[in-house]
Amino acid sequence: MPYNWFDRNLKWIYVLPAVAFVLVMMLFPILYTVRISFYEWSMSAITPPKWVGLDNYAALLKESRFWHAAGSTLYFTVVALAVEVVLGVAIALLLSREFRGKNLVKTVFLLPMVATPVAMGLVWLLIYEPTIGAANLMLKAIGLKPMLWLGSPAQAIPSLIIVDVWQWTPMISLIVMAGLATIPREPYEAADVDGAGRWKKFASITLPLLRPTILVAAMLRLIDVLKTFDIIYATTQGGPDLATETLNIYGYVLGFQYFKLGMASSLLVLFFALVMGLTLVMIWMRKRMEAQYD
């Protein structure tokens, strides 16, 4: 039976929608941003974009505000990610045990993750309110001095880290719990025969077998933490005194408040390169870890 054109190209036709989606929704915005980064443009319909080459990148790298935003981004990312991974793994180990009401506890624990970030930002804005907020009421109840929280340049980023940890630690726990479910029982039975204690079994069996899963969870969270925008913008908008201005917030300010689209695009290109670089490092670490176990 002779094949027609449709049958001969069926394997390409099936993937065509996915390829079109990637090209239109992902690749085009990236390429457009890279193109704009070489121009000076204020979104004016009268003045066309002016080619400036690498001047936007050079001007950006000379700005102290850019390096301050980069430092705030790394500070927020490193601390939030470290706390979330440690807490997430610990909570996953606790929730993997059998106890009464386990399913209810897991459901309540996962609720912050499904909440809208902007709505949660507004809720935490009220919690951190210095005069009537619940945070200071709790500090007073245990005999501690009230704090300015988001109103203090020194306390603003740690306050935002608390919000991020509260909302996204469940994601780490969820992935780690899935990893725990795949660990075979035989190594634990052999350890029981040898008389190993809980800590010995955790350090020698659970943690080594769980490392690839933890690394995947950390990689996914790393990408997300670096890109955090909604919580910060909903609570501080980069203040006070630029203390919480991350690269994402600074890019938004450059683009939509100062109308420097070229510089904003160059910042986003550099930020994209940073995220890609860190992600590739995490992927390399995971492959190297898997190779050690093969």
pLDDT (tens digit, 9 = 90+) per residue, 106-143?
Answer: 888 888 888 888 888 899 999 999 999 999 999 999 99
* Confidence (pLDDT) at 221: 93
d(CA 213, CA 200) in angstroms, rounded, equals 20
Q: What domain range is 276 assigned to?
A: 38-291
pLDDT tens profile 18-77? 888 888 888 899 999 999 999 999 888 888 899 999 999 999 999 999 999 999 999 999
pTM, two decimals, is 0.88
d(CA 105, CA 200) in angstroms, rounded, equals 28
Q: Which residue has 């994601």 as its token pair?
A: 171
Tokens of 98: 């059998």
Whether residue 212 is contained in a domain is answered as yes
In the chain, beta strands by DSSP E:
39-40, 50-51
Here the CATH number for the domain that contains residue 222 is 1.10.3720.10
* Confidence (pLDDT) at 143: 92
d(CA 102, CA 96) in angstroms, rounded, equals 9
Whether residue 216 is contained in a domain is answered as yes
CB-based contact 263:254 (threshold 8 Å): yes
CB-based contact 95:177 (threshold 8 Å): yes
Q: Which residue has 């929608």 as its token pair?
A: 17
Q: How many domains does the chain have?
A: 1
Count, residues in the chain: 294
